[in-house]
Chain A
Amino acid sequence: SQQGEEDPQALSIQEGENATMNCSYKTSINNLQWYRQNSGRGLVHLILIRSNEREKHSGRLRVTLDTSKKSSSLLITASRAADTASYFCARRSVSRNQFYFGTGTSLTVIP
């Protein structure tokens, strides 16, 4: 894949539980972003974390970034059935203004 992976590939949890997804990358980044894709739709931007930040919050979303390990995680707290979707991290490289995505994590939240 281009520049990294998300894991797990699939995640199934009960409503109300927390969901954690991870993203690894290979080259230096300017920032890292998380996107969500509902079935049959385009991707929608959720949250951005810059390379000099370690943690960021937005509502029920919490993103962490560890540049030494070249990894990031997305935590969705108190999940809802409506959170069922695929989640992708996008690495924006330092050297080139490109966004690289992986295969994503498919999240299913069971009501």
Chain B
Amino acid sequence: DARVTQTPRHKVTEMGQEVTMRCQPILGHNTVFWYRQTMMQGLELLAYFRNRAPLDDSGMPKDRFSAEMPDATLATLKIQPSEPRDSAVYFCASGSFHSFGGNTIYFGEGSWLTVV
């Protein structure tokens, strides 16, 4: 059963520490999304990649956040330094999008981050 895998599932860290979240998209999917979910803002799109190339990261605070896809099986989201306001659930999602179609994206179970 293909699924998006995220690690860690839960992370508690101190302010100022570096946090790295990892995502393994579904094999064969060419598009990867990073979302952040909070009660106040709902689901915010942070960044997304197509064929490992970053297409849009305008939703991401550039000074402390960075997103990469070192290879087709791994996407990373890094926060350095972390702040309490970064506490949220971070979701990775993947999908297969081509000129001829593709519409559904599949979510991982999320990384629950608490910065104290």
Contacts and interface: CB of A to CB of B under 8 A. Distances in A.
A43 B56 CA distance: 21
Dominant secondary structure of chain B at its interface with chain A? strand
B44 interface: yes
Interface residues of B, number: 25
B48 to A, nearest CB: 7
B65 interface: no
Dominant secondary structure of chain A at its interface with chain B? strand
Contacts of A35: 107
B47 to A, nearest CB: 10
Interface of A: 1-2, 31, 33, 35, 41-45, 48, 88, 90, 92, 96-104
Given A42-B4, A100-B45, 15 more contacts: A1-B42, A2-B59, A42-B91, A42-B109, A43-B91, A45-B105, A90-B105, A97-B50, A98-B56, A101-B35, A101-B42, A102-B42, A103-B41, A103-B42, A104-B42
Interface of B: 4, 31, 33, 35, 41-45, 48, 50, 55-56, 59, 91, 93, 97, 103-110
